[in-house]
Structure 1
Amino acid sequence: MTTYHERIWAAKWIPWALLLVIPATLLVLQPVSWLVGAITGPILYLACLVLWIVSAGTVEIRDGMLFAGRASINVEFLGEAEAIYADDAFAARGQELDPRAWLLIRGGVKDVVRVLVTDPDDPTPYWLLSTRSAQALAAAINDARRPTAQIEGE
């Protein structure tokens, strides 16, 4: 059962900026052939757009596992998840960042969630995940960490 799912797109202005590939291609290929440039430009734009779509990260909590991009970890090995906003998130991604941390960072997404890793065999101290819903993601991770018996007893 999926309890949380988010697709994390990089900055949403990128598809518009990618449109500049079309006139750039026309300019570069004009000495060869205007027609080749007119055909190649839109094809390159679509290829860049597909790469932008494919590169969007996904964060999901499903069946007792946290999936972030291509990585996954059982929630039993997770500590407290903390939502971090604005300037604090900037510092968490920069000067406070532990080089051993596992990252799923996307440009244009200001907030992050830091999830401590409690597995003694895992050298990763925490995961740092970009998110547009920091409070919701942190709450979903913390809820998934609670034992089922505790949830049923409430």
Structure 2
Amino acid sequence: MTSNASAAAAPARPYRERLLPGPGLFLALLLLIPGVTLVLMPINSGIALPVGIAVFLLVLLALFLMSPVIAISGGNLTAGRATIPLTELGRVELLGAEGLRAAIGPGLDARSYLLVRGWIHRGVRIENIDAADPAPYWILTTRHPQRLADAIEAAR
């Protein structure tokens, strides 16, 4: 019982997830090194390999920096560039692969806010109860839908 009491007394940790591509894309990007090297070899063989490695690293950095973040902090949910107060959020629905496909396909309301990445196959649909906001709900892909839903509930 001590562990339950300490868990209940502990403040909720803020949630943060960066929606990075999967490892398969990063492995495929390794092909940039020999590709750039082969292109530069006739021009200057001494710089061909270092430039290939530099291009690979720059693309990795760009992918990392351009990947959106889902975060809960300061009473707000931030998804990419959009932010909404947690008090304006209603019910949170977990979406598996089929549910997500239906939610962003035939069941989509065109006014909803989407932060969807094709390499993540599950997510959440969060009801927006703000009467002044035209988006009826947010659909976010996440690798940890249950943790996101729990973090929203804990932060309210």
Q: TM-score, normalised by structure 1?
A: 0.83
Distance in structure 2 (CA, Å) of the matches to 1:116 and 1:142: 13
Which residue in the other structure is 2:131 paired with?
120
Which residue type is aligned with residue 23 of structure 1?
P
* 2: CA distance, partners of 1:105 / 1:70: 13
1:80-113 deviation digits (Å, cap 9, x = unpaired): 1111001111222333222322222223211111
Residue segments in structure 2 that go unaligned for 5+ positions in a row: 1-11
Q: Which amino acid aligns with 2:140?
A: L
Q: Structure 1: how far apart are the matches of 2:23 and 2:114?
A: 20
Do 1:57 and 1:69's aligned partners in 2 also have CA atoms closer than 8 Å?
A: yes
Looking at structure 1, the residues matched to 126 and 84 of structure 2 have their Cα atoms a distance apart, in angstroms, of: 11
What residue number does 2:48 align with? 37
The yes-or-no answer on 1:12 pairing with 2:33 is no
For each residue in 1:36-92, what CA deviation from the matched residue of structure 2 results, as whole angstroms up to 9, or x when unmatched?
322211110000010121123222222211111222110111111111001111222
Structure 1 runs (4+) deviating above 3 angstroms are 142-145
Partner of 1:60: 71
Q: 1:84 to 1:62 in 2, by over 3 A?
A: same
For the 8 Å contact 1:101–1:127, the answer to whether it is kept is yes
Could you tell me the percent identity over the aligned residues? 39
Distance 1:2 1:67, change over 3 A: farther
Q: Is the 8 Å Cα contact of residues 2 and 63 (structure 1) preserved in structure 2?
A: no
- Separation in 2, partners of 1:134, 1:88: 12
Q: Name stretches of at least 5 consecutive residues in structure 1 with no aligned partner.
A: 146-154
The answer to whether 1:136 aligns with 2:147 is: yes
1:46 pairs with 2:57? yes
The SS at the match of 2:50 is helix
Match of 2:7 in 1: none
Structure-2-length-normalised TM-score? 0.82
- Residues 82, 114 of structure 1: 8 Å contact kept: yes
Is residue 11–residue 107 contact of structure 1 (8 Å, CA) maintained in 2?
A: no
Whether the 8 Å CA contact 1:80–1:142 is kept in 2: the answer is no
- CA RMSD, Structure 1 to Structure 2 (Å): 1.8
